């Protein structure tokens, strides 16, 4: 198939483009490069042996987006492109609602007008809100604690309504848990701009000497060691979930939500220990107060995705850390531009 991937130069997008190309699909990337690098596209080509077409377009630019659809005639869409920093979304709600909602609406309208109704959407476990019952199952009510989270809840609702109105749409909302790690080649990885918000990139930047020490946000949560528990999933496993979802949508259609997680939770201190075991490098850290908005624990029940997609993720935390470190060590300052 010819698959248009929005945000295909980004962290999860780039790994997914490699998986799609390896499966024989032709990929067109639409990315405004606001939080990604064109170098990632060169690296995709190097790994997969095929150069994906790149269109530097902002999804909020409706005319430019429609033009890409007219020119490339995609048969399916994987939609990653969005703003994703939780704290920033609290400070800049309108920017988040405009970008994520208008960008999404433009994309879905372009799809309808160009007779392309197969979509895999990047959702998030953030749609389970602030005090979930664990493990998280897809049937749980959805709500959010940040504008970022609400954009995911709202887009899932829009897609539910779209499928209800016209059963020709085939849609899978993938609720990611905590994507981490890097391509085992060390050529693709996470390259946050400025200070990393997320745990693993912060750890690897400490290990490579870009930051002095990690701050552990909170050690008095009601968890076994007091630090927050999350379901960390290797980004390549996550990428493979998109291919599995596309196959399922092609076979059976419908609107679906699928958790993409491992089903296991690990605390912040366990992640630090796994990184130290995998790399032999000590990670200095200090414990501070909890980060506003963080919940004590979050992990998936991934059985629906295991059963319906024939997909599972069980890459160990040590392998995840080794891969993240290989990327960071080979690219201490991230991508070259
Ligand atoms: N943490 C630290 N120090 C840091 C960074 C993170 O201790 O410097 C802790 C956090 O407090 C949390 C854990 O590490 O307990 C994981 O934090 P991340 O920021 O890596 O991940 P989150 O679970 O907070 O966020 C992720 C995604 C969001 C999504 C959210 C949904 O990054 O996009 O899950 O719950 F909204």
pLDDT tens series, the chain, 337 aa: 999 999 999 999 999 999 999 999 999 999 999 999 999 999 999 999 999 999 999 999 999 999 999 999 999 999 999 999 999 999 999 999 999 999 999 999 999 999 999 999 999 999 999 877 899 999 999 999 999 999 999 999 999 999 999 999 999 999 999 999 999 999 999 999 999 999 999 999 999 999 999 999 999 999 999 999 999 999 999 999 999 999 999 999 999 999 999 999 999 999 999 999 999 999 999 999 999 889 999 999 999 999 999 999 999 999 999 999 999 999 999 999 7
Of ligand 1's listed atoms, the one at least distance from the Cα of 196 is 8
Candidates 128, 236, 232, 230; CA nearest to 173 is 128
- What contacts 180, CB < 8 A, 6 or more positions away? 190, 198, 199, 200, 232, 233, 234, 235, 320, 324
pLDDT at 293: 86
Please tell me the residue having the least CA distance from ligand 1 atom 27: 178
Substitution candidate for ligand 1 out of 84, 199, 212 with most atoms within 8 A of CB? 199
Q: Is 202 in the pocket of ligand 1 (CB under 6 A)?
A: yes
* pLDDT value for 233: 98
Each residue's pLDDT tens digit, 136-156: 999 999 999 999 999 999 999
Rounded distance between C-alpha atoms, residue 162 and residue 155, angstroms: 10
CA of residue 198 to ligand 1 center, whole Å: 5
CA 73–ligand 1 middle distance (angstroms): 37
For the packed helices 62-72 and 103-113, what is the interaxial angle rounded to 10 degrees? 40
Ligand 1 touching residue 82 (CB < 6 A): no
Q: Which atom of ligand 1 is nearest to the CA of 126?
A: 31
232 assigned to active site: no
What are the tens digits of pLDDT across the range 312-326?
Answer: 999 999 999 999 999
Tell how far the Cα of 199 is from the centroid of ligand 1, in angstroms: 6
Distance 113 CA to ligand 1 centre (A): 38
CA distances for 112 relative to 64, 69, 77, angstroms? 16, 11, 12
Strands of 34-177, DSSP E: 53-55, 76-79, 118-124, 170-176
Asked whether 85 lines ligand 1 (CB < 6 A), one says no
Catalytic residue among 11, 96, 128, 148: 148
Residues 6 or more apart from 123 whose CB is under 8 A from it? 152, 155, 156, 173, 174, 175, 176, 257
Domains and CATH numbers, the chain: 2-182+233-261 (3.40.50.720)
**Calpha distance 213→95 (Å, rounded):** 32
The protein residue whose alpha carbon is closest to atom 24 in ligand 1 is: 294
Helix (H, G, I), strand (E, B) or coil at 230: strand
For position 131, what pLDDT does the model report?
75
Residue that is written with structure tokens 């664990």 in the block = 134
Instruction: Establish whether residue 68 lines the binding site of ligand 1, counting it when its CB lies within 6 angstroms of any ligand atom.
Output: no
């Amino acid at each position: 198939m010819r698959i248009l991937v929005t945000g295909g130069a980004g962290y999860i997008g780039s790994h997914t483009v490699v998986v799609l190309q390896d499966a024989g699909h032709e990929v067109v990337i639409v990315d405004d490069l606001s939080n990604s690098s064109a170098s990632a596209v060169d690296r995709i080509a190097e790994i997969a042996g095929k150069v994906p077409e790149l269109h530097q377009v902002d999804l909020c630019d409706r005319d430019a987006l429609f033009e890409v659809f007219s020119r490339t005639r995609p048969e399916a869409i994987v939609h990653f492109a969005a703003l994703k920093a939780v704290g920033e979304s609290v400070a800049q709600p309108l920017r988040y609602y405009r970008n994520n909602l208008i960008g999404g609406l433009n994309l879905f309208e372009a799809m309808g007008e160009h007779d392309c109704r197969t979509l895999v959407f990047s959702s998030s476990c953030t749609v389970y809100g602030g005090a979930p019952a664990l493990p998280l199952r897809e049937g749980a009510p959805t709500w959010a604690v940040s504008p970022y989270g609400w954009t995911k809840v709202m887009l899932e609702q829009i897609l539910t309504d779209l499928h209800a109105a016209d059963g020709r749409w085939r849609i899978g909302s993938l609720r990611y848990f905590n994507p981490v790690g890097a391509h085992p080649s060390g050529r693709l990885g996470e390259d946050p701009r400025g200070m990393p918000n997320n745990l693993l990139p912060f750890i690897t930047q400490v290990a490579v000497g870009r930051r002095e020490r990690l701050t552990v946000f909170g050690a008095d949560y009601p968890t076994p060691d007091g630090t927050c528990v999350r379901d960390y999933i290797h980004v390549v496993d996550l990428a493979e979930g998109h291919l599995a979802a596309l196959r399922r949508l092609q076979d059976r259609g419908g609107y679906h939500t699928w958790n993409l997680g491992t089903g296991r939770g690990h605390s912040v201190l366990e992640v630090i220990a796994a990184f130290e075991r995998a790399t032999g490098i000590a990670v200095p850290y200090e414990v501070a107060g909890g980060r506003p908005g963080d919940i004590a624990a979050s992990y998936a029940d991934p059985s629906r995705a295991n059963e319906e997609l024939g997909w599972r993720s069980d890459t160990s935390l040590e392998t995840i850390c080794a891969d993240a470190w290989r990327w960071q060590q080979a690219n201490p300052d991230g991508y070259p531009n």
